[in-house]
Amino acid sequence: MSTLIDGPQPPSAVGSAGARASRLHIPAVPARPGHRSDFGYLSLSAAGALPRPAIDARAADIGELAAGLVRVLDDDHRPVGPWHLPLEPSVLKTGLRHMLLTRAFDRRMQRTHRQGRISFYIQSTGEEAVSVAQAMALRPGDMLFPSYRNQGLFVARGVPLVDLMCQLLSNRGDMCKGRQLPVMYHSGPARIFSISGNLATQYPQAVGWAMAGAIKGEDHIAAAWIGEGSSAEADFHHGLLFASVYRAPVILNVVNNQWAISTFQGFAGGEQQSFAARGPGFGIPGIRVDGNDFLAVHAVTQWAAQRARANHGPTLLELVTYRAEAHSTSDDPSRYRPRDDYQHWPLGDPIERLKQHLILAGHWTESAHQALSAQLEAQVDSSWAEALAQGTPEQGCSLDRGLMFEDVFKDMPEHLRRQRDALAAERG
Amino acid sequence: MPQMNMIQALNSAMDVMLERDPSVIVMGEDVGYFGGVFRVTEGLQRKYGEHRVLDTPIAEGGIVGAALGRGVNGLRPVAEFQFSDYIYPAFDQIVSELARLRYRSAGAFWSPVTVRTPCGGGIRGGQTHSQSPEGIFTHVCGIKVVMPSNPYDAKGLLIASIEDDDPVIFFEPKRLYNGPFDGTPDKAAVAWKGDPRAEVPEGHYAVPIGKAQIVRSGAALTIVTYGTMVHVCEAAVRDTRLDAEIIDVRSMIPLDVDTLCSSVSRTGRCLIVHEATGFSGFGAELSATIQERCFWDLEAPIERVTGWDTPYPSAFEWDYFPGPARVAAALRRLMSPP
Ligand SMILES: Cc1ncc(C[n+]2csc(CCOP(=O)(O)OP(=O)(O)O)c2C)c(N)n1
């Protein structure tokens, strides 16, 4: 064996790493358990401070949008600035409803996991505005390529909760026929692509879908979401490159919730510059937006959608938010960040902010909010009962095990047919 | 002697190597401050610092490429992939680069990278947290491929891998991290504590790469297996009361052909068991090699028991997993061929 201390050296080894202090830069992490939260690293712009350019703007001319932060709601929940495109109160209330339903669904499924009735779950708490506002700013024909933390897309597109719950239960109603880990949903009719366990793969795929739309002369666009941690994968860069080369009608979203399991966003490159700033390097406009500001998220998504539909090409959006809960039911964030970190998050909670905005504008009241919350919780409960009617975990797997061999190919080849029969014989 | 589970044994191997050799560095997603999602690198960053135990971006191709470069420049990287299902973004860096650097540069450049990665099912992980891709990498010339089945071997083989000047892919059957698992999910989980294979010396020792181990001697037939399936096969042998010899391959490349073949020549019958899909799996190589050497001693065709040729389905995990019943049925067939 060769080491730097003794024995033969690798031929190109120089010096001794052990002899001198390392000069390598290691990204800083603002606060670990036992420390005070510190969000001083976040660059924030005042609400309303950034311009809203024309949809055919060149990436190089709007670099400030990639470095700053587009915000519409100010600290008093008043909408300000050029990105405030007034939306009908009914639209805002629908958005609030979708966000509340997403959160109620998450809470309930988390509890269900604790009771041992589903094997795994991922919450999107604190990030509801990302999926809901973006889905609402797009058209039903647009194709969505989500990550595993975009359940709000399914809610906003009206996919019944029962369908999602049956997937979590792997029962007779499971759209994935028992093949996928819980939360790896899809919906053909709602145009939401199948979620992969392998990070970032959906990015170039969304670009390809959008390219096909352009080739066919359609005006549907595509949108994809990944976490800032996943933006480290090569597929992120493949997506940007293809989108740039062919000016594909696609919206590429990076959801920067600050954490990738235990890894702080600095380790994905966020310390040097924003994630939105990756766009201009490819000639793609990058816009960094307050991801907890429903109005701002809606406005930038609409801008990017208009740009794509008018054939001016792709946009990279960075949605700045915070992962309020654990990464998943397998994770314990108190091991790597301050327990109360989220309480100090400067951009607040997306539901609370939209609620306060609506109250301030005279379209909403505290009691209406309570009543809606109660109604949505009841909806979650009744959906859960409906889902259980298609097979409970206590009854064991309610799906035919032969399904395991289907859909590997369109037609089952001989060797799989033999294996299916062998399994059936084994199980009697 | 201290008792360790497999997680502790692997941790101890890296601890020993970081201590002994300043060129050893550990890197991977969540391995530093957090200590890894399976806790295998717990405490190492605290002890050896952020410069030797590095958190990395989520970029497997980058992890291998950068490990290769560090290795060329005198370090000895141990890179973790969070799940072996996530090794594929690094495929080109492993297959075209890591495996062939020494060959293509006629020995001018080489890189002693160890890639550690948890594999196998049994944790309700579905198709992207359960795969056993070892066979894919045994088809590549220039990397060693190993898989331990107990804490003692885990530590000794990992030390040998880190000390090895060739790249090694080190597969860790995650279902064995906390205890020997015999393939019956409904039984209460058994811990490593009290198992003789969990007696692990604190200090430095190596289990040589390239040596199989006979874990049970027998005369009636030979079972050739590795990883989690070693324990499943032990259960099947108990159930069938056959006098089977069980061999833990441990090292797929290089392969200890002599140990395998002298056993099969003695018993005349051979069952090959692995969790990975069967078609073009490593069992095919085992079967061909054994058949070439032992043909005239065989009294029955060599059989294979493997995972089905489908992705690993989440809800049908225990229908997919080649459990003791499937192994036992094959054992009976082998003993009385039609
Ligand atoms: C190719 C690949 N590598 C590693 C993993 C393991 N993994 C799953 S989620 C995750 C963190 C992703 O973080 P981020 O992209 O920031 O999204 P977030 O979970 O914060 O929404 C990791 C490392 C994986 N699923 N796929």
Does one domain contain both B80 and B184? yes
- B289: in domain: yes
Min distance B290 CA to chain A CA atoms (Å): 24
**Interchain CB contacts (distance < 8 Å): A and B:** 168
Asked whether B86 lines ligand 1 (CB < 6 A), one says: yes
pLDDT above 60: residue A420: yes
The last residue of one of the domains, among B199, B228, B246, is B199
pLDDT above 60: residue A7: no
Does one domain contain both B316 and B229? yes
- B279: in domain: yes
- B151: in domain: yes
Residues counted in chain B: 338
Does one domain contain both B146 and B255? no
The identity of residue A31, as a single letter, is A
Does one domain contain both B53 and B170? yes
Q: Residue B89 has what DSSP assignment?
A: G
- B157: in domain: yes
User: Are the C-beta atoms of B191 and B136 separated by less than 8 Å?
Assistant: no
Contacts of B54 in chain A (CB under 8 A): 26
The last residue of one of the domains, among B177, B199, B221, is B199
- Spell out where A188-229 has E strands: 222-227
pLDDT above 90: residue A377: yes
Task: Write down the pTM of the prediction.
Answer: 0.96
What confidence tier does A10 reach under pLDDT thresholds 50, 70, 90?
very low
User: Are the C-beta atoms of A311 and A247 separated by less than 8 Å?
Assistant: yes
Min distance A268 CA to chain B CA atoms (Å): 5
Please name which of A171, A151, A104, A127 lies closest in space to residue A376, comparing C-alpha atoms: A104
- B205: in domain: no
> B254 preceded by cis ω (within 30°)?
yes
Residue nearest to atom 6 of ligand 1 (CA): B82
Give the model confidence (pLDDT) of B289-317 as tens digits: 999 999 999 999 999 999 999 999 999 99
Instruction: Please answer yes or no on whether B128 and A197 come within 8 Å at the CB atom.
Output: yes
Q: Where are the alpha helices (DSSP H) in A84-160?
A: 89-114, 128-137, 151-156
Does one domain contain both B141 and B27? yes
Ligand 1 binding pocket mutation candidate from A258, A261, A320 (most atoms within 8 A of CB): A261
Query: pLDDT value at position A401?
Result: 94
Query: pLDDT value at position A19?
Result: 59
- B207: in domain: no
Tell me which of A416, A419, A426 to substitute to probe the interface with B (most B C-beta atoms closer than 10 Å): A419
Does one domain contain both B227 and B189? no
The last residue of one of the domains, among B199, B233, B250, is B199
Instruction: Please answer yes or no on whether B58 and A1 come within 8 Å at the CB atom.
Output: no
Please name which of A184, A144, A106 lies closest in space to residue A351, comparing C-alpha atoms: A106
What's the CATH number where B9 sits?
A: 3.40.50.970
Contacts of A334 in chain B (CB under 8 A): none
Please name which of B217, B338, B331 lies closest in space to residue B269, comparing C-alpha atoms: B331
Lowest mean pLDDT among A55-59, A251-255, B129-133, B334-338: B334-338
B281/B291 Cα distance (integer angstroms) = 16
Give the model confidence (pLDDT) of B119-158 as tens digits: 999 988 888 999 999 999 999 999 999 999 999 999 999 9
The identity of residue B81, as a single letter, is F
Domains and CATH numbers, chain A: 39-395 (3.40.50.970), 404-428 (no CATH)
Instruction: Please answer yes or no on whether A233 and B72 come within 8 Å at the CB atom.
Output: no
Does one domain contain both B193 and B323? no
Cα distance from N-terminal residue to C-terminal residue, chain A: 54
Does one domain contain both B27 and B164? yes
Mean pLDDT value across chain A:
95
Give the model confidence (pLDDT) of A85-95 as tens digits: 999 999 999 99
Quick one: tokens of B181? Answer: 């698992």
Q: Nearest CB to B22: which of A2, A17, A419?
A: A17
What's the CATH number where B274 sits?
A: 3.40.50.920
User: Are the C-beta atoms of B209 and B157 separated by less than 8 Å?
Assistant: yes
> What is the rounded average pLDDT of the residues B279-285?
98
- B295: in domain: yes
Instruction: Please answer yes or no on whether A397 and B58 come within 8 Å at the CB atom.
Output: no
Asked whether A130 lines ligand 1 (CB < 6 A), one says: no
Going B42 to B43 to B46 to B50, the CA torsion angle's sign is negative
Asked whether A261 lines ligand 1 (CB < 6 A), one says: yes
Tell me which of B24, B37, B45, B58 to substitute to probe the interface with A (most A C-beta atoms closer than 10 Å): B58
Residue nearest to atom 12 of ligand 1 (CA): A260
Q: Residue A251 has what DSSP assignment?
A: E
Q: What domain range includes position B285?
A: 213-335
Give the model confidence (pLDDT) of A182-235 as tens digits: 999 999 999 999 999 999 999 999 999 999 999 999 999 999 999 999 999 999
- B252: in domain: yes
Looking at the structure of chain B, the number of domains it has is 2
pLDDT above 70: residue A386: yes
Asked whether A126 lines ligand 1 (CB < 6 A), one says: no
Instruction: Please answer yes or no on whether A267 and B56 come within 8 Å at the CB atom.
Output: yes
Does one domain contain both B43 and B178? yes
Residue nearest to atom 21 of ligand 1 (CA): A227
Does one domain contain both B24 and B58? yes
Is there a catalytic annotation at residue B129? yes
Does one domain contain both B125 and B191? yes
Q: Return the exposure string of A87-96: e unless at least 16 CB atoms fall within 10 Å of the residue's CB, then b.
A: beeeebbebb
pLDDT above 50: residue A109: yes
Does one domain contain both B42 and B135? yes
